[in-house]
């Protein structure tokens, strides 16, 4: 059963008062991760083919072609985990149902 950890190399609480969260996708899974995100989230705008501003439910976030994403206004790890699960993993009507494991 796939999990968020299959896609995510690490999650960094970005330094600064903004409390941004930077998600770094695994190098060998980043294409798949970005493809899944593009399938599920709505592209608001794309800049220079590098930065992609996306919306998903109530969240706005930026995905970078280099395989990173910045999420803002995330309350806690659980919320981020849930969001990543919905963005990265097959939905319950798809190939399999899931419950994402907690990440570091």
Partner 1 sequence: MEHHSNIVPWEITAKINRFTVKYASVNRDGTLDYEDLESKITSKTKLVSLSHVSNVSGVINDVKRVAKAAHEQGALMLVDGAQSVPHMPVDVRDLDADFLAFSGHKMLGPTGIGVLYAKRHLLVEMNPFQGGGEMIKEVAYAGAKERCYVSLNEPPWKFEAGTPNICGAIALNEAINYLQRIGMDQVQAHECYLTNYAIKHIQELSKVTLHGTTDTALKCGIIPFSVQGLSSHDVALFCDNYGIMIRSGFHCAQPLHQVFNLTSSARASFYIYNTREEIDRFKEVLKETEQL
Is residue 9 close enough to count as binding partner 1 by CB under 8 A?
no
Q: Using CB under 8 A, which of 15, 39, 76, 99 touches partner 1? A: 15
What residues numbered 63-82 form the site for partner 1, per CB under 8 A?
64-66, 68, 70
Q: Is the dihedral of CA 34, 39, 40, 43 positive or negative?
A: positive
Question: Which of helix, strand or coil describes residue 86?
Answer: helix
Report how far residue 1's alpha carbon sits from residue 89's, in angstroms, rounded to the nearest whole number. Answer: 10
Least separation in angstroms between residue 10's CB and partner 1 is: 15
Instruction: List residues binding partner 1 (CB under 8 A).
Output: 14-18, 20, 22, 47-48, 50-51, 62, 64-66, 68, 70
């Amino acid at each position: 059963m796939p999990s968020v950890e299959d896609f995510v190399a690490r999650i960094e609480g970005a330094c600064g008062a903004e409390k941004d969260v930077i998600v770094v996708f695994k190098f060998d899974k980043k294409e798949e991760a970005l493809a899944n995100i593009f399938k599920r989230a709505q592209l608001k705008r794309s800049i220079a083919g590098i930065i992609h501003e996306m919306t998903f439910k109530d969240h706005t976030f930026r995905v970078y072609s280099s395989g990173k994403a910045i999420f803002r206004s995330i309350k806690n790890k659980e919320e981020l985990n849930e969001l990543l699960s919905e963005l990265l993993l097959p939905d319950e009507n798809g190939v399999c149902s899931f419950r994402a494991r907690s990440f570091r």
